[in-house]
Structure 1
Amino acid sequence: MQTKTKFIGFFLLLFILFGYAQKNTVKVILLAGQSNIQGHGDYDLLEDSVKQRIQKIAHRVYLSTSDNSKIEPKPLSYYTQNDRRGKYNFQHHFGPEIFVGLTMAEAYPNQQFLLIKKAVGGTSLHGAWSANWTQEKANVSEIGAERKALQLYKAHLKNIESNLNRLKQDGKSYQIIGLAWMQGEADTNSQLKANNYQQNLENLIAAYRAELGKLDFPFVIGQINVLPRKYKQGPTIVRKAMETVANKDTNVALIKTSTNPSWLDYPKHSDNIHYNTEGQKRLGTDFGKRLIEFIK
C-alpha cells in the first residue's frame, strides 16, 4: 500500500510540474506581411463588450512590432496613426493581431502569449519580403527608394531573435507555434512577381522553418482578394499559388476569401483593398482558430 501511495504521489508531482511548465512557457506567434497585417481596423468602433474582453487578456498577451531590442513588447492594444493623407478618419488602428491574441488567450485562459509582427504596406514577396533578397529584385519589385532598401524577412528575424533573447534573460521558456501571413496584393501588379509568387512563398516558408529549426513549423496564409489592377491576371495567379502551396504542405493552412466585390466574408474599406473593422476582426479570429487547430 505504501509503495502504491508513493507511486501515485510521484505521478501527481510530475503532473503538477508539467502543468507549471506549460503555464510558464510563453507561446510565441509570428505575424508578417503588408498593409492588411499592419491593419486598418478602427478600434473605437469595436463594441464595448469586445473591448472589455481584450482588456481582460491584455496583461498576458504582448505584442512586439519593432526590431529594436531596446523597445519592449506592449500589452495587446491598438496603435496610433495620424492620417496625413486623409485616407482614414480615425487614429486608433488595429490589425489581425488583436483577434489572434484574443482568440488564443480565451482558448487557453492560463497561458501567456507573445505576438511578434512585421508589416509594411505595399511591399512585395519578390522584393522586400524575399528570403533570398537582392538589390536587383528589390529594384524591379518595389516603388520608392525606402521600399527598395527594405529587407523585411531579415528584419523580422532580428525582431524575433531580440524578443526570444529577452524571454531567456527573464528566465522564461517559450514555444513558437506558427506564423500568420497576409501578403500578396503588391505581387499581383506585374507578370514577373505574380508568376514567381508560388516559388517565392515556398522559399519563404522553408527559410523560416530552417531559421527556427522546425521543419513542421505551421504557416497560415490569408488568401488575397484584391481586384485586378495593372496586371489583370495577377490576382488569379497569386490566389492559385497560395492554394497550391497549402495543398502541397500539411503544415500550411489557407484562409480562403471571396472575390465578390461585396466583400461579405471579410468586409473592406471603400478602397476595396484594406479590411475594415469587421474584416480585421474576422481575419484575426480565423487566423487564431487555424493556429489552435495546429496546436491540437
Structure 2
Amino acid sequence: MKRITRSCPWGLALLIALYVAPVIADDKPVLNVFVLAGQSNMAGADSEVAIPPGFVQTTADRETRFTMAPLPDGEKSPQYVPWGEIRGHQAKGKLVHGPEVGFARTLYAAGWRDMALIKVHANFGRDAQSWPWGKGEALHEAWTRFVDTRLEELKAGGHRVNVCGFLWHQGIDDAIHGRLAAEYQQNLSDLIGVLRSRYAIENTPFVLARSVKSRIAQRAPDPDGTAPMSVVRRAQVAVGESVPFAAWINVDDLPNVNTHHFSADSQLVIGERYGKAYLDLKQTDGD
C-alpha cells in the first residue's frame, strides 16, 4: 500500500497525539492466513524428521508464520506450537511435519509473501453420535476458538489479516468407524459453508486430500464399492468437484508408513499438491 503523508501545524499534531486513540499502523502488510485442519495425516503423524528444526529450512519456511495444536486442548496441550517460523513439531513423541512445509514453499515460489498458517488436528472414536467437526459440536467449537484466538494475536500485533484459504485432510475416522460415512459428503459441504461464512468469503478456496485406503480397509474385499472407506472417498471427490471453488488432491500414489500415514518426503509432495491446487483455484475466483 502506498503511504500518503501530509504535514500539519505542530500544535494540531500535539492535540492529535493527546486525544486520538492509537490505530493499526498502515505500514504493516496484510497477512495472508491459511487454516489447515484434519486428523493424523494433517498432523504429520509418523513423518519423522531429525532434531530441530526437523529439516533444512528455506527462506519460505523462515518467513512464514506458523502455529499449531491438537484439539480439543489447543494452546493448553504440551504439543502446542505458538507463532513462529515453520519447523518440525511434536506428534506422538516424534518430531514431524505435515503438508504445511510443501504448501508454504509452493506459494512462496509463486510470489506469495506475508503468509501465516494455523493448523489443528484431531481424531474421534467409535462412540461419536454425530460428526465432531460440524458446527455446534465440541471439536468444532475448540477448533474455531483456537483459530479466533490466533487471529486476535496477529491483530494485537498490529497486523491486518485476510483468511485466504482452507486445507483439509480428514475422513479416515469416518471410514474406519463406519456409522458416519454415508453423511460425509453433506457434512463436509456444510462445513465449507460455515468456514467461509465465519472467516472468509464464498469463493475462498478449499482444498481437500482424498483419504488413502488404510491397510485395514485394503484387506477387506469391496467389489461393489459399498464399504465405508469407498463411500468416504467418493464423497470427498464429489465435494471437491461439486462445491464451488473447492478441489481435491490424490495421495494414493505416495508410499505409506505405519498403516495409512506418510513419510516426511511424502508430506512435502502433499503440501506441493495442495499449493498447486490452491493456485489453480485462485486463477478462477476472479480475485
Alpha-carbon RMSD across the aligned residues, in angstroms, is: 3.1
Partner residue of 2:212 out of 212, 219, 225: 225
Per-residue CA deviations over 1:121-171 (Å, capped at 9, x if unaligned) read 4567943222242xxxxxxxxxxxxxxxxx222222112211221222222
Whole-Å separation in 1 of the counterparts to 2:268 and 2:282 = 21
Tell me whether 1:43 sits opposite 2:49 in the alignment. Answer: yes
Tell me whether 1:129 sits opposite 2:139 in the alignment. Answer: no
Whole-Å separation in 2 of the counterparts to 1:96 and 1:223 = 14
Task: Tell me what 2:235 maps to.
Answer: 241
Provide the secondary structure at the position in 2 that maps to 1:181: strand
The count of aligned residue pairs is 245
Task: Tell me what 1:68 maps to.
Answer: 75
Displacement after TM superposition at 1:249 (Å): 1.8
Whole-Å separation in 2 of the counterparts to 1:55 and 1:247 = 33
Displacement after TM superposition at 1:26 (Å): 0.9
Asked whether the 8 Å contact 1:177–1:291 carries over to 2, the reply is no
Q: Give identity over the alignment, percent.
A: 23
After superposition, where does 1:18-33 map in structure 2 within 5 Å?
A: 24-33=29-38
Asked whether the 8 Å contact 2:28–2:158 carries over to 1, the reply is no
Tell me whether 1:256 sits opposite 2:250 in the alignment. Answer: yes
Whole-Å separation in 2 of the counterparts to 1:38 and 1:57 = 20
- What one-letter code is carried by the residue in structure 1 that aligns with 2:39? Q
Tell me whether 1:212 sits opposite 2:199 in the alignment. Answer: yes
Displacement after TM superposition at 1:43 (Å): 2.4
Structure 1: state its 5+ residue gaps: 1-13, 84-90, 134-150, 259-264
Provide TM-score, normalisation by structure 1: 0.73
Task: Tell me what 2:150 maps to.
Answer: 163
Whole-Å separation in 2 of the counterparts to 1:125 and 1:107 = 43
Whole-Å separation in 2 of the counterparts to 1:242 and 1:211 = 22
Say which is worse superposed, 32-41 or 56-65, in terms of deviation.
56-65
Displacement after TM superposition at 1:22 (Å): 10
Asked whether the 8 Å contact 1:226–1:272 carries over to 2, the reply is no
After superposition, where does 1:39-188 map in structure 2 within 5 Å?
A: 39-40=44-45, 41-44=47-50, 51-52=55-56, 54-66=57-69, 67-68=74-75, 72-81=82-91, 83=93, 91-108=94-111, 111-122=113-124, 126-133=130-137, 151-188=138-175
Structure 2: state its 5+ residue gaps: 5-25
Q: Which has the higher helix share?
A: 1
Task: Tell me what 2:39 maps to.
Answer: 34
Partner residue of 1:193 out of 180, 197, 213: 180
Asked whether the 8 Å contact 1:126–1:187 carries over to 2, the reply is no
Per-residue CA deviations over 1:27-75 (Å, capped at 9, x if unaligned) read 1011001000010312239xxxx944x3423332111114439974121
Asked whether the 8 Å contact 2:174–2:184 carries over to 1, the reply is yes
Whole-Å separation in 2 of the counterparts to 1:200 and 1:118 = 18
Asked whether the 8 Å contact 1:36–1:275 carries over to 2, the reply is yes
Provide TM-score, normalisation by structure 2: 0.75
